[in-house]
Copies of this chain bind each other. A is one copy, B any other.
Amino acid sequence: MKFSKKSEYALRALIELTGQYGQPPLQRHEIAKRQQIPIEFLEQILLTLKNAGLLGSRRGVTGGYSLIKPPQDITLGQVIRILDGPLAPIGCVSKTAYQKCSDCPYSEKKNCPIQNAMLGVRNAIADILDNYKLSDFASGHCKRAHA
């Protein structure tokens, strides 16, 4: 149940880019240095985020990466789904990538006890991550797990 290093690095890089929002682009080597991320690996991650439509980039000597949308319009849920896939702990409760459990004997009858439990888990995770925005990073804001 761990997030990959990619997701972690992505979030760390996005913290830097959030701080730079509205200013000139930030270069990969600057992000890598500040966050201690292997630069070539970071590159891969930034490209993925760019292709997913979160970042823009400019080449050449004054180039770099920058957020393409305001930080309050990007959620942690989006970022993590891009790099790690669906949030759900099991395919049959994913909203963004549902997959029927081929071998679960309760699958057909829609009364699977495991599905029941895991749906709660997936919703709890998504409720937090889909409401936590990049802008909340800057403010040190902390969403509560349960009121």
Contacts and interface: CB of A to CB of B under 8 A. Distances in A.
Interface of A: 1-3, 8, 11-12, 15, 34-37, 76, 80, 84-91, 103-105, 111, 113-114, 116-118, 120-121, 123-125, 127-129, 132, 136-138, 140-147
B127 A146 contact: yes
Contacts of A103: 36-37
Given A1-B86, A2-B90, A117-B136, 9 more contacts: A1-B85, A1-B88, A3-B89, A15-B113, A35-B105, A36-B103, A116-B140, A124-B125, A125-B125
Given A11-B114, A84-B1, A128 B132 contact: no
A1 B89 contact: yes
